[in-house]
């Protein structure tokens, strides 16, 4: 049953954001026309349009995620959602999973759009420039291509945890705004709850982060954890990259906490309109 819930949520979310990706597809087709015709004006306008669409895509996805959750859980069809033969945490998990996937897709599309525009204008010469630049990095004491690649995947994993955390906070703020007496505040209550939760969690994270300070260090194929700040600072000089681990762990932890609190409130405290 959980698989069907996730499938339906993915489809519903796809309908909400389909227009923005359709616009990107049309823009890509116009960019292709610019390549074949060699018209500089078409290339400039279409490239600018793609960048604008990529920026808008993140906002549209976030807005769609919030409105879809509010509508299907606490709106006119909320009662039907809660009468499904599934547990509250299954409903919440399916919506969280779908939201995280679509937000992640919007970020990947954002990055891919900038990369595409770069190669759109620079072509093969731009690719050669990047490859030669990466080869020379290590000679100047900067991170090598292998280090940058490994660190990119490390940041990607950290980014996923950050998205899980933000979606958890968003959904919890929506749920809290639908509980008396906050229900009367409407959309303002949702925004208020979101920032209150962020401030509280950030305060806790900063206090705990000072107690447990260690980093994930990457240099080529060599990866390890360390608590030695001096070692991390000295590593910067020889092309080593590092990432503070505790903020990443806190993102996953507090995202999970928000999920369970939200599931509990959905089960015991919700006042449907």
pLDDT tens track for 114-150: 988 888 887 777 677 777 776 666 666 677 777 778 8
Residues across the chain? 273
Mean confidence (pLDDT) of the chain: 80
Residue 23 reports pLDDT greater than 60: yes
pTM of the model: 0.83
Residue 188 reports pLDDT greater than 90: no
Domain residue ranges of the chain, discontinuous segments joined by +? 1-140, 141-273
Q: Compute CA distances 159 → 118, 122, 207, whole Å.
A: 23, 29, 22
Closest CA to 213 of 168, 162, 247: 247
The pLDDT, as a whole number, for residue 70 is: 83
Residue 95 reports pLDDT greater than 70: yes
Helix (H) or strand (E) holding 219: strand 215-219
Residue 263 reports pLDDT greater than 60: yes
For the record, the structure tokens of 71 come out as 């509508």
The pLDDT, as a whole number, for residue 272 is: 52
The pLDDT, as a whole number, for residue 50 is: 92
Q: Measure the CA–CA gap between 28 and 11, rounded to whole angstroms.
A: 24
Q: Which burial class, exposed, middle or buried, applies to 36 when counting CB atoms under 10 A from its CB (0-12, 13-18, 19+)?
A: exposed
The pLDDT, as a whole number, for residue 137 is: 64
pLDDT: which is higher, 259 or 81: 259
Q: Which burial class, exposed, middle or buried, applies to 59 when counting CB atoms under 10 A from its CB (0-12, 13-18, 19+)?
A: exposed
pLDDT digits (tens, 9 = 90+) for 39-94: 888 888 888 999 999 999 998 998 888 888 888 887 776 666 666 677 878 888 98
Read off the DSSP letter of residue 143.
P
Q: What is the dihedral of CA 142, 146, 151, 157, to 10 degrees?
A: 170
For the record, the structure tokens of 82 come out as 């809660």
């Amino acid at each position: 049953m959980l698989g069907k819930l996730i499938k339906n949520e993915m489809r519903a979310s796809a309908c909400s954001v389909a227009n923005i990706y359709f616009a990107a597809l049309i823009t890509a087709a116009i960019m292709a026309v610019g390549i074949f015709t060699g018209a500089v004006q078409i290339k400039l306008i279409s490239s600018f349009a793609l960048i604008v669409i990529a920026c808008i895509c993140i906002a549209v996805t976030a807005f769609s995620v919030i409105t879809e959750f509010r509508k299907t859980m606490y709106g006119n069809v909320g009662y039907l959602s809660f009468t499904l033969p599934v547990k509250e945490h299954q409903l919440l998990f399916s919506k969280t999973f779908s939201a995280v996937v679509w937000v992640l897709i919007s970020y990947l599309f954002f990055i891919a759009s900038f990369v595409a525009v770069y190669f759109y204008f620079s072509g093969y010469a731009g690719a050669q420039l990047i490859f030669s630049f990466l080869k020379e990095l290590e000679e100047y004491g900067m991170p090598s291509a292998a280090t940058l690649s490994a660190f990119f995947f490390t940041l990607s994993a950290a980014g996923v945890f950050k998205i899980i955390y933000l979606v958890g906070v968003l959904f919890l703020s929506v749920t809290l705004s639908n509980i008396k007496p906050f229900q009367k505040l409407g959309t303002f209550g949702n925004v208020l709850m979101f920032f209150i939760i962020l401030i509280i969690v950030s305060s806790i994270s900063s206090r705990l982060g000072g107690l447990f300070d260690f980093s994930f260090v990457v240099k080529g194929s060599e990866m390890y954890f360390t608590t030695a700040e001096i070692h991390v600072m000295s590593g910067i000089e020889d092309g080593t990259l590092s990432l503070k681990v505790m903020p990443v762990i806190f993102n996953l932890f507090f995202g999970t906490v928000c999920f369970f609190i939200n599931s509990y409130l959905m089960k015991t405290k919700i006042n449907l309109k």
